[in-house]
Amino acid sequence: MHVGEILVTVAVGFLLIGSAGYLMSIYNSLIALKNNIGRSWANIDVLLKQRHDELPKLVKTCEGYMQHERDVFNRLSEARGALLKAHTVPQRAEAENMLTKALGQFFAVAEAYPDLKADASFLQLQSRISELENQIADRREFYNDTVTTFNTRIQQIPDVVVANWLAFTREELFKIDSADRQDVEIRFSLAG
């Protein structure tokens, strides 16, 4: 074999290995990104579960004080019910938005009960739920960042080739309900 031929073979070998390696790195990174989406959602789920666990305690603490506010309790209960039925990410997101809204209204109504506001358990639960909601908001942002990165990558060249081969499709964002951006409407029921 001639020296020139050997060198061309080596250069072509590097080119082939390089191309294969590059494709492999795209494949691996898309798979990692896809798994990151699952992980980000699971990380939100942990907090949502913690928030759900606080709800019965909240209801129990407030029941004695807010006996005439069946409406807000019902909304909380409906939201929890919707969560149990939700299975996909968009359904869960919708149910969670409903619960967030119901909680917002619940705390707004609770403002009208000074005795309840002075209750140590209520204050602790309110603070805990508020902290959890802040964390959920952060993780929702993180989840949406991950999904956006994934959605952008699978549409860009050269990643689109590997994404099509893997049949990757766009993932859904965890959107905030437009009603959540509006102020909470407070309506006090009259006792009796």
Partner 1 sequence: MAGFELPLYATLALGAGPVLFHRGFRDLRVRRLIQNTPTAKIRSMAMGLVEICGQVVARSTQTAPFSARPCAYWELDIATLTGRRGWSIVHRNRSGHPFFVRDDTGVAMVYPQGADCRIGFGVTEECVGLTLPECYAQYMSEQDLAMRHVWRLGTMRFRERILEEGFCVYVLGTAVPRGRVLTVSEGEPLAATGTGGWAAGRVQGLIEDATGVIRRGENDPTFIISQQSERDLTTGLGLNAMLKLVGGPALTTAGLGYWLHALASGHLFR
- Contacting residues toward partner 1, per CB under 8 A: 3, 6-7, 10-11, 14-15, 17-18, 21-22, 25, 28-29, 32-33, 36, 39-40, 43, 47, 134-136, 138-139, 141-142, 145-146, 149
Least CB distance to partner 1 at residue 68 (A) = 36
Nearer to partner 1, 30 or 66 (CB): 30
Amino acid identity for residue 53 in this structure? D
Q: What angle do CA 146, 150, 155 make, to 5 degrees?
A: 155
Find the shortest distance in angstroms from Cβ 75 to partner 1.
Answer: 26
Q: How far is the CB of 33 from partner 1 (least distance, A)?
A: 5
Nearest CA-CA partner of 184 in 82, 108, 75, 94: 108
- Residue in this structure with the two tokens 């969670």, named with its chain if needed: 96
CB 73 → partner 1: shortest distance, Å? 29
Cβ atoms of residues 110 and 121 within 8 Å: no
Nearer to partner 1, 47 or 98 (CB): 47
Q: Which is nearer to partner 1, 101 or 139 (CB)?
A: 139
Task: Decide if 126 contacts 72 (C-beta within 8 A).
Answer: no
Q: Which residue, 66 or 136, has its beta carbon nearer to partner 1?
A: 136
Helix (H, G, I), strand (E, B) or coil at 68: coil
24: amino acid identity, one letter: M
CB count within 10 Å of CB 30 equals 19
Least Å distance between CB 42 and partner 1?
Answer: 9
